[in-house]
Amino acid sequence: MSIDLKTIKHISKLSRISVDEQRAKKLAGDLNSIFDFIEKLNELKTDNVEPLTSIAETTLKLRSDEVKSKNIREQIIKNSPQDNEDYFVVPKVIE
């Protein structure tokens, strides 16, 4: 198992974290040593094992259809990096 620079670039793109060449090399090294260690799982046969989807042994509780959250626009927008009273603002999206 080996994670190459191309893979690092791909996952950095998926995770929207830009990495320069130097960081990419460092990450490739780190990830390879981590995955060497993770590969230990291949020793185990798990064909007939049901994956665990939730550790809490209960079922999903349902809430009633009531509007409780009022207009809190000021609160919601207060922390946003760019000033605008009505909207979140981001650099132009290029389609």
Partner 1 sequence: MSDITKQSLTELVENIKNKKLSSTDVTKAFIDRSEKSEELNAYITNDFTSALEKAKKFDQKPNLDSKLPGIPMAVKDLFCTKDIKTTAGSKILNNFVPTYESTVTENIWNEGAILLGKLNCDEFAMGSSNETSFFGNVQSPIDRNLVPGGSSGGSASAVAGQLTPVTIGTDTGGSIRQPASFTGIVGLKPTYGSCSRYGIVAFASSLDQAGPMAQNVKDCALLHEVISSYDPKDSTSIDFKRNHYSKELTNNIKGKKIGIPKEYRVDGMPKEIEDLWQKGIQYVKDCGAETIDISLPNTSYALPTYYIVAPAEASSNLARYDGVKYGYRAKGENLIDMYEKTRSEGFGAEVQRRIMIGTYVLSSGYYDAYYLKAQKVRKLIKNDFDEAYKKVDAILTPSTPSSAFKIGEKTNDPVSMYLNDIFTVPVNLAGLPGISIPAGHDSKGYPLGLQIIGKAFDEQNILNIAYAMEEKINFKNKITDWWIK
Partner 2 sequence: MSKKDSEYLINRKDNQYEVVIGLEVHAQVLSDSKLFSTSATKFGAEPNTQVSLVDAAFPGMLPVINEFCVKQAIKTGIGLNAKINKRSVFDRKNYFYADLPQGYQISQFKDPIVGEGKVILDMPNGQKEVGIERLHLEQDAGKSIHDLDPQNTFVDLNRSGVALMEIVSKPDLRSPDEVNAYIKKLRSIMRYLGTCDGNMQEGSLRADVNVSVRPKGSKEFGTRCEIKNVNSIKFMQMAIEYEANRQVDLIEEGKTIDQETRLFDTKKNETRSMRSKEDAHDYRYFPDPDLLPLEVSEKFIEELKNDIPELPDDKKKRFIEDFKLSPYEANILVSDIDTAKYFEEVVAKMGKNKDIKLAVNWITGELFAVLNSKGLEISQSPVSAKNFAILINLIKNGTISGKIAKTVFEIMIDGDKDPQKIVEEKGLKQQSDPKALEALIDKIINDNREKAIEYKQGKEKLFGFFVGQAMKASGGKANPQLINEILKKKL
Q: Among residues 2, 54, 81, 83, which is the contact residue for partner 2, using CB under 8 A? A: 54
C-beta closer to partner 2: residue 33 or 89: 89
> Which partner, partner 2, partner 1, none, binds residue 83 by CB below 5 to 8 Å per kind?
none
Q: Long-range contacts of range 62-65, CB-CB < 8 Å, 24 or more positions apart?
A: none
Is residue 71 a contact residue for partner 2 (CB under 8 A)?
yes
Size of the site for partner 2 (CB under 8 A): 35
47-59 burial code (b ≥16 CB/10 A, e <16): eeeeeeeeeeeee
